[in-house]
């Protein structure tokens, strides 16, 4: 079996993007970040949301992350398009 090309951590993927995600109700969390996948459109996009991550055109992997925890909390989700592509290819083979 070939080694997986899907990253275990989204921070290692070239298709991730870190965006600002401040908490509008808490000044302490004003520097929060969100990680989004640029390969997948956001199925829960809310253009009028108070939260920046919900307004993102890309699917949110993790939101409301403290900046110093980005790598720790950015584990690759089950819906990762790279993982799904590899699984579909494995089924074909």
- Cβ atoms of 49 and 55 closer than 8 Å: yes
Q: Give residue 16's pLDDT.
A: 96
d(CA 6, CA 24): 34
User: pLDDT digits over 32-89, tens only?
Assistant: 999 999 999 999 889 888 887 788 999 999 998 999 999 999 999 999 999 999 988 8
| Mean pLDDT value across residues 1-16 | 85
Residue 84: give the domain boundaries: 10-92
Whether 66 maps to a domain, the answer reads yes
54-64 burial: b if 16+ Cβ within 10 Å, else e: bebebbbbbbb
Q: Give residue 80's pLDDT.
A: 96
Whether 1 maps to a domain, the answer reads no
The structure's pTM equals 0.84
Q: How far is CA 51 from CA 9, 34, 42, in A?
A: 24, 10, 14
Total domains present in the chain = 1
Q: How confident is the model at residue 28 (pLDDT cuts 50, 70, 90)?
A: confident
Please tell me which residue, 23 or 60, carries the higher pLDDT value: 60
Whether 2 maps to a domain, the answer reads no
């Amino acid at each position: 079996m070939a080694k997986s090309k899907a990253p275990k951590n989204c921070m290692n993927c070239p298709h991730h993007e870190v965006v600002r995600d401040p908490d509008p109700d808490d000044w302490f969390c004003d520097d929060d970040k969100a990680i989004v996948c640029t390969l997948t459109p956001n199925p829960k996009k809310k253009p009028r949301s108070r939260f920046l991550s919900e307004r993102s055109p890309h699917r949110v992997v993790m939101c409301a992350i403290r900046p110093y925890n980005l790598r720790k909390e950015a584990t690759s989700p089950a819906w990762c398009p790279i993982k799904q592509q590899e699984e579909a290819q494995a089924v074909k083979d």
